[in-house]
C-alpha cells in the first residue's frame, strides 16, 4: 500500500489515496500504521477519497482505530495532497468531511501548497448536539461554562481532581476548553483521559487546557480522544477561539500557540463561521508492506 506521511504543525497522520487503491478495514489499519514503534508512526490514518459532492472526501481515523468526524490540521494536508498530486487543481477547494463539505483557500507558491485557510463552519453550542448530557454536568459561575465533576473511585491510582469549568463546543467534533493560569504543569496523561471519558460525553471528547496571554494570543495543550497527547489540534484551536469570545477573554481574531506551531483563527461576526489558517507539510512517501 502506498502512503504519504504529512503533518500540520506536528499533528501527523499517515495519508492514503483511495483514488489509486482500495483500503480494507481502515480502523484496523489505523492502529497498525499509527504505532510509533512497530508501524509508520502518527496520530492516526487519513484517507483521501473520491467524492460525489466535493473535489475530494476525507475520512479520519484516530490511533486507536476510532473514526472522527473532522480534523482541522488533517484537512489542510488533504488539500495539499490533492492539489500537489494532481487530484484536483481547484482553488478554492471543496472537501467532504463528517462535518459536511468545507471550503479551503490554498496559498500556492511555485505549484505547491504551503498554507491553507479553512472555513470551518459555525460552532455548535447546543449541548445535545455536541453531544453532552446536561444531566451529568453541573452549572458554572459563568453562563458559557459547565462544571465537570469527578466523583466515585479514582481509576488511575491518583486522586480525582477537583471540579473544573469547561466551555463545550463542537466544530463537527466535540471539545472541552478549560482556561487555566498556566498550562505547562498540567498532567495531561492523568487529566486527559478523565475528561475524554467523562460520563457526560457519550462519544467522548477532546480536551484542551488554555492560558490567555492577551486578547489576541493563547497557549494551549491538547489531549485528543483516541490519540492522547498531540502537538496540535486544528478543530480544538477553533473551539478555543470560540470559547475565548464567549467568556470575554479574547477578541475574535487570535493566534493559538500550540506545541507544534501556531494557527491563526477568526470567528467572524458576518457569517458566524470560524476560519483557520495554518501550514501543511509533506514529509515522505513509502510503501506499507502488509502482513
Do 159 and 136 belong to one domain?
yes
Residue 159: what pLDDT?
Answer: 83
Mean per-residue pLDDT, 2-23: 96
Q: What is the mean pLDDT of the chain?
A: 96
pLDDT per position as a tens digit, 115-166: 999 999 999 999 999 999 999 999 998 999 999 999 866 666 778 899 999 9
pLDDT at 291 over 60: no
Residue 158: what pLDDT?
Answer: 79
Do 237 and 150 belong to one domain?
yes
Residues with Cβ < 8 Å from 105, sequence gap 6 or more?
91, 92, 116, 117
Do 76 and 107 belong to one domain?
yes
Do 137 and 251 belong to one domain?
yes
Do 106 and 131 belong to one domain?
no
The answer to whether 8 touches 234, Cβ cutoff 8 Å, is yes
Residues with Cβ < 8 Å from 219, sequence gap 6 or more?
183, 210, 211, 213, 256, 257
The CATH number covering residue 6 comes to 3.10.310.10
pLDDT per position as a tens digit, 62-117: 999 999 999 999 999 999 999 999 999 999 999 999 999 999 999 999 999 999 99
Task: Identify the domain containing residue 179 by its residue range.
Answer: 127-272
- Overall domain count for the chain: 2
Mean per-residue pLDDT, 239-261: 98
Do 249 and 136 belong to one domain?
yes
Do 80 and 167 belong to one domain?
no
Residue 153: what pLDDT?
Answer: 67
Do 73 and 23 belong to one domain?
yes
pLDDT at 182 over 80: yes
Cα separation, 134 vs 253, in Å, equals 30
Mean per-residue pLDDT, 8-18: 97
> 260 falls in which pLDDT band (50, 70, 90)?
very high
* Residues making up the chain, counted from first to last: 291
The answer to whether 223 touches 244, Cβ cutoff 8 Å, is no
Do 282 and 241 belong to one domain?
no
Do 138 and 266 belong to one domain?
yes
Residue 160: what pLDDT?
Answer: 86
Do 149 and 258 belong to one domain?
yes
Do 111 and 149 belong to one domain?
no
Catalytic residues: 71, 233
Amino acid at each position: 500500500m502506498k502512503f504519504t506521511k504529512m503533518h500540520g504543525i506536528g499533528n501527523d497522520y499517515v495519508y492514503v489515496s483511495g483514488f489509486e487503491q482500495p483500503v480494507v478495514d481502515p480502523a484496523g489499519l489505523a492502529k497498525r500504521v499509527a504505532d510509533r514503534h512497530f508501524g509508520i508512526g502518527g496520530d492516526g490514518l487519513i484517507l483521501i477519497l473520491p467524492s460525489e459532492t466535493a473535489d475530494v472526501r476525507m475520512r479520519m481515523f484516530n490511533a486507536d482505530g476510532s473514526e472522527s468526524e473532522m480534523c482541522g490540521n488533517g484537512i489542510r494536508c488533504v488539500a495539499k495532497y490533492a492539489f500537489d498530486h494532481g487530484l484536483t487543481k481547484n482553488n478554492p477547494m471543496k472537501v467532504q468531511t463528517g462535518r459536511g463539505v468545507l471550503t479551503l483557500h490554498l496559498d500556492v507558491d511555485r505549484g505547491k501548497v504551503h498554507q491553507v485557510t479553512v472555513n470551518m463552519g459555525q460552532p455548535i453550542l447546543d449541548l445535545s448536539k455536541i453531544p453532552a448530557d446536561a444531566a451529568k454536568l453541573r452549572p458554572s459561575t459563568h453562563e458559557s461554562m459547565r462544571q465537570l465533576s469527578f466523583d466515585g473511585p479514582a481509576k488511575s491510582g491518583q486522586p480525582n481532581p477537583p471540579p473544573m469549568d469547561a466551555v463545550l463546543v463542537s466544530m463537527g467534533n466535540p471539545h472541552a476548553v478549560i482556561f487555566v493560569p498556566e498550562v505547562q504543569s498540567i498532567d495531561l496523561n492523568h487529566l486527559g483521559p478523565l475528561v475524554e471519558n467523562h460520563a457526560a460525553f457519550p462519544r467522548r471528547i477532546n480536551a484542551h487546557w488554555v492560558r490567555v496571554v492577551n486578547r489576541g494570543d493563547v497557549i494551549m495543550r491538547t489531549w485528543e480522544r483516541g490519540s492522547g497527547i498531540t502537538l496540535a489540534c486544528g478543530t480544538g484551536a477553533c473551539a478555543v477561539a470560540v470559547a475565548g469570545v464567549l467568556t470575554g477573554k479574547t477578541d475574535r481574531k487570535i493566534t493559538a500557540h500550540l506545541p507544534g506551531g501556531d494557527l491563526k483563527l477568526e470567528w467572524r461576526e458576518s457569517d458566524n463561521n470560524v476560519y483557520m489558517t495554518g501550514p501543511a507539510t509533506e514529509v515522505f512517501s513509502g510503501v506499507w508492506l502488509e502482513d
